[in-house]
């Protein structure tokens, strides 16, 4: 059941994120917050974020599209304004299932995807399992395939110790990201505060930590088989119009990942923004927003 029961947001955040989220209770009993704005229709753009962001990442793109098409942007369970239960199953398989449940609850039959970071594995997982529902796809510095490439700082955060203490105790994943993910410009103080707003305590960083640890590098990892399934299904997306808007100065999803996308989706329309970092929409500003709009609207 969809409800409008999220707590009021502070005025400073509403100025950047002018939305009143709704929520859905997942099959595992957690409240998943999501933005749902624009014309009421069974056709919508579905925006899927990664780690350690939330639907705040898409705020400006949603604002630019909301008068033209329905926009739905969930916060994955444990992230953003959603519940952050300690014992939730924070795996790729569960996250795909949560998105499928949201799509069903909203009665969406035609979906255009915009995905970033590990939202790419989730969104592409949804797409390869529900191809008839998916239309256009926009990829933003992401991966949906297995890779051994991982920055040393992220590898450290994946460890039980000191990784968990760093991520949950010192906010050493979400905190540095607001600086490391930018290159062309700096986030304002309120933008930084907005990204970090949901992750203000050990308890509230449970899924930031779990997301890092859910990167499947070895076959015995709980999410390895799911990611392999998604990867094997990616060639089926060649029948969909795909746009890739890529930040060339991303420390994590760097150009080796873009090269892999070129192999998998050779017909994709690719724009590489050479001086833009991982937070493509913030760092690329109006240029990135315009490119994403074209991809979403088929212009």
Res. 4 pLDDT band, cuts 50 70 90: low
pLDDT of 2 higher than 80: no
Q: What percent of the chain has pLDDT over 70?
A: 98
pLDDT score of 89:
96
Please state the rounded mean pLDDT for residues 161-178.
96
SS3 string, 92-155, reads HHHHHHHHHHHHHHHCCCEEEEEEEECHHHHHHHHHHHCHHHEEEEEEEEECCCCCCCCCHHHH
CATH of 2-297, one of 3.30.930.10, 2.30.30.90, 3.40.640.10, 3.40.50.1820: 3.40.50.1820
- In this model, does residue 5 exceed pLDDT 90? no
* Token pair 């994590």 in the structure block, residue: 252
pLDDT value, residue 290: 98
First to last CA, the chain: 35
Structural contact between residues 179 and 171, judged by C-beta atoms closer than 8 angstroms = no
Residue 3 has pLDDT above 90, yes or no: no
Indicate the domain borders of the chain: 2-297
46-89 pLDDT, tens digit each: 999 999 999 999 999 999 999 999 999 999 999 999 999 999 99
Does residue 171 carry a pLDDT above 80?
Answer: yes
User: Rounded to whole angstroms, how far apart are CA atoms 82 and 78?
Assistant: 6
pTM here is 0.96
Distant-in-sequence, close-in-space partners of 77: CB < 8 Å, separation ≥ 6: 26, 28, 30, 32, 83, 84, 85, 88, 90, 94, 95, 98, 207
Q: What's the whole-number average pLDDT of the chain?
A: 96
Cβ within 8 Å of residue 263, ≥6 positions away: none
Q: CB under 8 Å to 2, separation ≥6 — which residues?
A: 22, 23, 24, 105, 106
Q: Looking at residue 138, what is its pLDDT?
A: 98
CA angle 254, 206, 157 (to 5 degrees): 40
Task: Say if strands 134-142 and 242-247 run parallel, antiparallel, or are unpaired.
Answer: parallel
Give kind and range of the element (H or E) at residue 282. Answer: helix 280-297
Q: Which residue has the higher pLDDT, 150 or 214?
A: 214
Q: Is 281 left (phi over 0), alpha (psi -120 to 50) or beta?
A: alpha
For 73-132, the pLDDT digits (tens) are: 999 999 999 999 999 999 999 999 999 999 999 999 999 999 999 999 999 999 999 999
pLDDT at 245 (0 to 100):
98
Say whether pLDDT at 8 is over 70.
yes
């Amino acid at each position: 059941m969809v409800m409008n029961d999220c707590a009021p947001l502070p005025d400073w955040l509403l100025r950047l994120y002018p939305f009143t989220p709704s929520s859905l209770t997942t099959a595992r009993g957690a409240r998943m917050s999501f933005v749902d704005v624009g014309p009421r229709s069974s056709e919508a753009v579905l925006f899927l974020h990664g780690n350690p962001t939330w639907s705040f990442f898409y705020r400006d793109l949603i604002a630019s599209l909301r008068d033209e098409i329905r926009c739905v942007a969930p916060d994955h369970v444990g992230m953003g304004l959603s519940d952050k239960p300690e014992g939730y199953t924070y795996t790729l398989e569960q996250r795909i299932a949560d998105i499928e449940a949201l799509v069903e609850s909203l009665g969406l039959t035609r979906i255009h995807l915009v995905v970033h970071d590990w939202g790419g594995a989730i969104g592409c997982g949804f797409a390869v399992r529900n191809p008839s529902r998916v239309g256009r796809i926009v990829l933003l510095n992401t991966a949906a395939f297995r890779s051994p490439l991982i920055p040393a700082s992220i590898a450290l955060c994946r460890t039980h110790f000191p990784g968990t203490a760093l991520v949950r105790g010192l906010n050493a994943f979400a905190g540095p990201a607001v600086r490391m993910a930018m290159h062309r410009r700096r986030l304002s103080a309120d933008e930084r505060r907005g990204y970090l707003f949901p992750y203000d305590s050990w308890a509230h960083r449970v899924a930031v930590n779990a997301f890092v640890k859910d990167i499947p590098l070895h076959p015995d990892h709980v999410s390895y088989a799911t990611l392999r399934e998604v990867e094997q299904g990616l060639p089926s997306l060649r029948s969909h119009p795909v746009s890739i808007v890529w930040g060339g100065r991303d420390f994590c999803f760097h150009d080796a990942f873009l090269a892999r996308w070129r192999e998998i989706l050779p017909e994709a329309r690719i724009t590489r923004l050479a001086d833009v970092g991982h937070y493509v929409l913030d760092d690329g500003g109006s240029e990135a927003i315009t490119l994403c709009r074209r991809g979403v609207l088929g212009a």
